[in-house]
Amino acid sequence: MHENDISEGQAEEYVGLADFVAEGDEQRLHLEMLSDKPRTDTYRQVILSNSASLRGKVVIDLGCGTGVISLFCALLAQPAAVYAVEASSMAEHTEQLVRQNGCEEVVTVFQDRAENLTLPGKVDVLVSEWMGNCLLFEYMLESVLLARDRWLKEGGMMWPSSACLTVVPCQAFSDYMEKMEFWEKPYGLDFSYLQSLAQKEFLSKPKFSHHLLPEDCLSTPADVITLDMVTMQVSDLERLEGEFSFSVEKSGMFHGFTVWFSAHFQSLEEDGPSLELNTGPYSEITHWKQTLFMLDAPVTVEEGDIIAGSIRLQRNPIWRRHMSVTFSWNINSTEVSKVQTKCFPMWR
């Protein structure tokens, strides 16, 4: 059948099916996030520990999804108003959830993008769960910063207030065996010819949702990039860089770098406690897990060796939700040692 032969009724059916599939994907995404107990409980605890200070305040929940954070605000504190902002069609369901939880007098849902948003007035607190893999991936942070500049009162609070990107050199034996060593003698046959193709396919991309075991860390992790949500500018997102120097704490095989992030929530009270959401291997696992960047070939390292270098996050100039992550490193820097560089495109 030629596409011009599709009837109007069939076309509507195909469009309806596409919408149904997209909505199903969205439902799965929100289920995954709501099921992430460390993530959701951290936001709940932030609201609860600041409930007295939130009384009478105006809050915006940007990219609210199901509205869970907005509902926490309405039910655990006594804000004057909560603006739940969601650009996708999920906003229609969020309105139903707000009514179902009896919060419609406090929570107002806005279906709009941050760039086009019109609110009744400025807000005291801007809360958002904008973080992605490697902290920045998909760049929802840009929308948060635009909303901050337009709608947050002077001296208002941002949650998270700051965020850090953390790196550690690591071992990844199971991943390397699965992706590379497998081709040496599968079923007693020599398939090593395919190793170069496997290297190009599997080792040139980061591995999302990697679960790093603490014992596979070759060194103490280091925070390499820190974002201050009050002072950060949209233009800063184009390129972010950080340096590291790791002292290897146990001999092993250096397979690559693992990256994760932490988000920090400052208290509204001057001497109040700050809270942290940490997505690293030493904390309770989240839906983000960690992100693994593998070298082209593993390197044996000894206790006391120094792995020094830098990481660069470069935003794609055309596909603005994507980026590249470039590592440069050197082991036991000497005049004859060579600086290695590897760039990883981050796409979905």
Instruction: Supply the DSSP string of 89-147, one letter for each residue.
Output: THHHHHHHHHHHTT-TTTEEEE-S-GGG---SS-EEEEEE---BTTBTTT-THHHHHHH
Helix (H, G, I), strand (E, B) or coil at 265: strand
Q: Which of 86, 129, 201, 215 is catalytic?
A: 129
pLDDT attached to residue 70: 98
Q: What is the pTM of this model?
A: 0.87
pLDDT attached to residue 212: 98
The DSSP string of 156-192 is EEEES-EEEEEEEEE--HHHHHHHTGGGTSGGG---G
The C-alpha atoms of residue 113 and residue 96 are separated, in whole angstroms, by 20
**Alpha helices by DSSP H, the chain:** 8-35, 37-49, 51-54, 68-76, 90-100, 141-151, 173-179, 195-202
Residue type, 211: H
Q: At what angle do helices 8-35 and 37-49 cross, to 10 degrees?
A: 70
- 142 annotated active-site: no
- Judging by DSSP bridges, how do beta strands 123-128 and 58-62 pair with one another? parallel
- 181 annotated active-site: no
Q: Which of 8, 138, 215, 335 is catalytic?
A: 138
Residue carrying the six token digits 């002072």? 231
Q: CATH homologous superfamily of domain 161-348?
A: Hnrnp arginine n-methyltransferase1 (2.70.160.11)
The C-alpha atoms of residue 331 and residue 334 are separated, in whole angstroms, by 9
For the chain, the helix, strand and coil percentages under 3-state DSSP, each to the nearest 5:
35, 35, 35
CB 47 within 8 A of CB 82: no
pLDDT attached to residue 347: 86
Query: Residues of 75-109 as b/e, b for ≥16 C-beta within 10 angstroms?
Result: bbbebebbbbbbbbebbebbbebbeeeebeebbbb
- Rounded to 5 degrees, what are φ and ψ at 13? -65, -40
User: Is residue 120 packed enough to be buried (19+ CB in 10 Å), middle (13-18) or exposed (0-12)?
Assistant: exposed
pLDDT attached to residue 15: 42
- Show pLDDT as tens, one digit a residue, over the chain (348 residues): 443 444 444 434 434 444 444 455 666 766 677 889 999 999 999 999 999 999 999 999 999 999 999 999 999 999 999 999 999 999 999 999 999 999 999 999 999 999 999 999 999 999 999 999 999 999 999 999 999 999 999 999 999 999 999 999 999 998 887 776 665 666 777 766 666 666 667 788 999 999 999 999 999 999 999 999 999 999 999 999 999 999 999 999 999 999 999 999 999 999 899 999 999 999 999 999 999 999 999 999 999 999 999 999 999 999 999 999 999 999 998 766 789 999 999 986
DSSP class of residue 243? Answer: E
Nearest in space to 60 (alpha carbons), one of 3, 134, 118: 118
